[in-house]
A and B are shown apart, each in its own frame.
Chain A
Amino acid sequence: MPDIVVKTEDVVKEYRMGSNVLRALDGINIEIQRGEYISLMGPSGSGKSTLFNMIGALDRPTEGEVYIDGQNMSHLSQRQIAAFRCHRVGYIFQSYNLLNVRTAHGNVTLPMIFAGIPEKQRNEKAERLLDKVGLGDRMYHLPDELSGGQRQRVAIARALANDPSIILADEPTANLDTITGREIIDLIKQLNTEQGVTVISATHDLKMLDVSDRIVDIRDGLVERIRNRDEIEIEVGEVGGHE
């Protein structure tokens, strides 16, 4: 029996704008197994980011249920949801979402502060994680002093701070050039294979496809199809060459 980490049941999300109702998700059913690398693909406005938010408990569905680790997310208290975001999930965003008032190191320690980890321990861990993502020499720089790729690396280190079992990445490469994007994808893939972290990524970056185990195509708020990696042909040309 497969180990299901995320399961959605008829998830519907509507946004109300004045008298208009926009149905961003129209009944989504997916199951994601532990350790998988899943890409949610779809054009802008297809609902993939909305689905991403539902899976990450960043927003509540209008109808339907989301189960994570077998637990119905709508039954959790505020404190449990906060703990869930703190311990179980690491988020990576398109626009990095680093706190500009904290250094790279300060950004990575923040989730550990929320988790109540003692100072010495969290400082050491932040250093280790930043080293791992290749920012050992820029630990005490503010986000403004880092390039896009470096900021995304900080975000990845921060996402790993409390050893989550799921990494949620929303268009992590959209603001990066091809080569840097490739590096970020490789880094995420490495976490997936080496640490068995489940990766769920909303993207329309074709480079993400050849590292994914499955690709979920989302269109107009519905799952259009789910493809295994071996079912698709990927033609990612080499662009850019070397730096």
Chain B
Amino acid sequence: MEQQRPIEEQIDLPFLESLRISFQSLKIRFGRSIITTAGITLGIAFLVSVWTNNEIEFALQESGRSSEIANLDEASEQGISTKDIWLIIMSLIVCVVGIANSMLMAVTERFREIGTMKCLGALDGFVVRLFLLESGFQGFAGALIGALIGLLGAVILGLKNYGLDLFFYFPLLPARPENGPFQLGVLLLILFGCLLGMILAVIGSSFPAWRAAKLPPAEAMRTEV
């Protein structure tokens, strides 16, 4: 009975070690990471461009220049039009679904990896933390790029429609803050876009990662995508 010693408890890994493993994984899977990140970038770019465009229109209306601008909305006195709200909500939905989908795919194709890590002694919490870190980083980077692309798109469109006047009235801060959540100002909007992208990416990946981590390894490794 040489080895009938009790089974000890698994230790937690230092945070730095998780960070290192997750970065390494992103680096080696660079091509795949870029595609997932691009999904986030597109969603946020769409949202930010629609929204910024809307903010620009509103700022110009507020400045009293709306009479000169033919293609502004009829409902301008009430601030933001139903059509614009609808467009923003639509773009939000596209963004949420797009990001959730790319993160879900990215995690599902790694079920076997999750099972294997558990065979080697990974705790469920470690697996989830790894995906949280990876997706948080991807989400933030993708969303920041997306927000900047969206902003650029809206500015180009604004320049085409309103010319250089745009910059005199550029809505860096909300033109009328009392108008509620659909008027953030461009600075807040970019921050909102980045946070949204990051949060959606983290939720979109950590939920399936958590589910996979809870599975017995045999089952996780059996999962075919």
Contact = CB atoms under 8 A, between A and B. Distances in A.
Interface of A: 3, 5, 34, 53, 56, 58-60, 69-71, 76-80, 82-88, 91, 93, 97-102, 106, 110-111, 113-116, 142, 158, 162, 165
B119 A91 contact: yes
A70 B124 contact: no
A70 B4 contact: yes
B29 A3 contact: no
A88 B117 CA distance: 15
Contact of A69 (B4, B28, B29): B4
B124 A78 contact: yes
Contacts of B11: 83, 115-116
A230 B183 CA distance: 84
A80 B10 contact: yes
Contacts of A106: 24
How many residues of B sit at the interface, in one of the four size bands?
A: 35 or more
B3 A34 contact: yes
B13 interface: yes
Given A60-B216, A69-B3, A111 B116 contact: no
15 contacts: A59-B218, A60-B216, A69-B7, A71-B7, A77-B9, A78-B123, A80-B9, A83-B7, A85-B118, A85-B119, A85-B120, A85-B121, A86-B121, A87-B8, A91-B120
Contact of A113 (B2, B10, B13, B118): B13
Interface string B83-119: 0000000000000000000000000000011011111
Contacts of A82: 10, 118, 121-123
Contacts, number: 103
Interface string B1-22: 1111111111101000100010
Contacts of A87: 8, 121
B7 A88 contact: yes
B135 to A, nearest CB: 15
A58 B29 contact: no
A84 B10 CA distance: 8
Contact of A58 (B24, B117, B123, B218): B218
B120 A76 contact: no
Contact of B116 (A88, A97, A113): A97
B10 A86 contact: yes
Interface string B113-148: 101111111111010000000000000000000000
B7 A84 contact: yes
B121 A111 contact: yes
Contacts of B1: 3, 70
B13 A114 contact: yes
Contacts of B112: 97
A8 to B, nearest CB: 16
A101 B28 contact: yes
Contacts of A77: 9
Given A69-B7, A83-B10, A85-B119, 4 more contacts: A83-B9, A91-B120, A97-B112, A106-B24
